[in-house]
Each structure stands twice: as structure tokens, then as C-alpha cells.
Structure 1
Amino acid sequence: MKTFLLSNNLNKLMLIPCFIFGLSTLAQTNETEGIEFSITKTIHDPDIVWNPAPDFFPGCSFTILHGDLAKPNLDFFFKIEPNTEIINHTHNSAERMILISGELEVQYEGEKPQILKAGTYAYGPANKPHRAKCLNSGQCVLFVAMIDPFDAVPIDKK
């Protein structure tokens, strides 16, 4: 009987390291597989790379914050130099925007122009022509979130 109790207790003691090892293996697996990490960025972060915008947006640049231009759910900063006009264009995706800096005049087709100031939220419907102009109060930096992959189609007004 004593032998059974001793071996039973010994078996229980041996299970503890196995249990701890198993948990640590799971924890290491969770840290390296399938975990998406949070991010924070400001327009002044030194590791941000500003890329030139398409040629029909002269004086503009952008940086991807999260996602991929060719895939859904894209977040990016869009920078416009002061006194720069953004030509009339459309996107296949709706845009959700917050102006981070500057003053930006935005006009959607059939609507009156609106002046966005830093901290202003704006929503732009998909496929609705619009134009913008960064006014003379410093660079305009816009946070933009798109549901669908990025596109910008200039509209010729002849």
C-alpha cells in the first residue's frame, strides 16, 4: 500500500513539470504565430517613409500605416503641401478621414465646399467626384481609412 501511495504521489509530482512545460510551449507558440501586434504612429515619427503620390497629385505624398494598397482595409496618412490643389477625382471605396494638421477645403460634386480644420472628421462616399485644396496654414496631413483597395481616378473636365 505504501509503495502505491509513494508511486502515485511521485507520478503527480512528475506531472507538474510536464504541465508547466506544456503551458510555456503554448505561450511561446502564441507569441510567434498568428498574433497581430498593435501599432501607434504620429506624422512626426522618424521611421515613417513618405512616398510620392500619383503624378496627378503633385505636391502630395503618403505613407501606409496599416494594410496594403491592393487589399481591403487600408489606413494611411496623405500629406498635401500648402496652397496645393487636389484635382477632381473618385475612389471605388468610401473614405473615412480625419485632418491631422493644416486647413483643407473639400468639395464633393453637387455640394458646397467645406473647410476642414485639424481634428475634423469627414466621410466621402464611394465613386463621388471630389476635389480639395490645402490652404495657406501649413501642410495638410489627412488620416484616411478605406474599406476597399486603394484607387484614385482623375476626372477630366473638358
Structure 2
Amino acid sequence: MYTLKTLLTIFSLMSISSFVSGHELGSNLNPISFGADQTIIDFEKMKWEPLKVEGLDPGAEIAVIRGDLNKGSSEAVIKIPSNYNIAMHTHTSDETYIWIHGAYTLKSEKGSEHKFAGPSYISFPGNAPKHAITCIAEDYCLFYVRWSRPFDILY
């Protein structure tokens, strides 16, 4: 005999299943979970969307993996093509990057420029001095980013 709590849990899971049907298990749209507030995503199953931001050239793609870019904190994976430039900008939110793939150049508004061959870690507080990123990889650049507040980009 099922308890009311168990039945409600089953019905909730059924509703969630029907909502995410059509999205492969393990993708960012249908992550795997072993329990409450767990998110497990297979990057091979990622569902990408164009990253449409005013002032940003077409070609960048985003896969949101947690949260909502317009509300509170969020996490995403961003993919940019070779020779792609993200112009000098800042954000009101704290940013944490884990660079996963591809060589890139990070520039500061004061003119310093640093080249990275690949995986690296970047942390900027909200309203940090402006910075720019250029993917110099032969194929593409891929990085994880976490914002502590709603996403914005200020040029």
C-alpha cells in the first residue's frame, strides 16, 4: 500500500517525465539526479541554443545547466567558435569560469593581455573592471560559467 506522500512523489515524477519527454536523459534539459537538488549532465547530450545578447556577434552558443539567466544565480556552458571575440565588458554579478577547451586570450581594460593554452579558472567579482575574451583555438572554445545574480553584460 502506497502512502499519500509516495503517490504524490510518483505523480510529480510522471509530470516531470512528460514535460521533459523528447529530451535525452542526461542532457541539460533532462539531467540525471540521484536525489534532491542534484544535477548530472553528459556534455555529449547537451542541447545548445544561440547565445543572443545585444552587442554580441552571432555564433556563440549556450546550454543553461542550472537556474534561470533572468532570475537569481545560474550556471551555463558556453561554446564560441575560433577567432570569436567577446568585446570589453563587465557584469553586475560575480562570475566564475572553468575553461574546459580551447586556447584563448583574456584582456583587461588597462591593456594587459594573457594567453592561455587551455583549461583554466577565472573568478571576477561583480562590477569587476572590464575584460575581453578571444577564442584563439583552431576549432572552438568551451567554458563553464556561474553567475551569482541575474545575467547581464555591460559594455
1:132-151 counterparts in 2 under 5 A? 132-151=133-152
The count of corresponding residues between Structure 1 and Structure 2 is 131
The structure with the largest helix share of the pair is: 1
Q: CA deviation at 1:24?
A: 3.6
Q: Structure 1: give runs of 5+ residues left out of the alignment.
A: 1-20
1:95–1:123: 8 Å Cα contact kept in structure 2?
Answer: yes
Q: Structure 2: give runs of 5+ residues left out of the alignment.
A: 14-34
- Look up the match of 1:38: 38
Could you tell me the percent identity over the aligned residues?
21
1:1-158 counterparts in 2 under 5 A? 21=1, 24-30=3-9, 32=12, 36-45=36-45, 47-58=46-57, 59-110=59-110, 112-128=112-128, 129-154=130-155
Deviation per residue, 1:114-145 (Å, 9 max, x gap): 33344311112221211010003321111000
TM-score with structure 1 length normalisation?
0.70
Moved more, 48-57 or 119-128: 48-57
Counterpart-to-counterpart distance in 2, 1:48 and 1:116 = 27
CA RMSD in angstroms, aligned pairs only: 2.4
TM-score with structure 2 length normalisation?
0.71
Counterpart-to-counterpart distance in 2, 1:143 and 1:64 = 10
Counterpart-to-counterpart distance in 2, 1:44 and 1:108 = 33
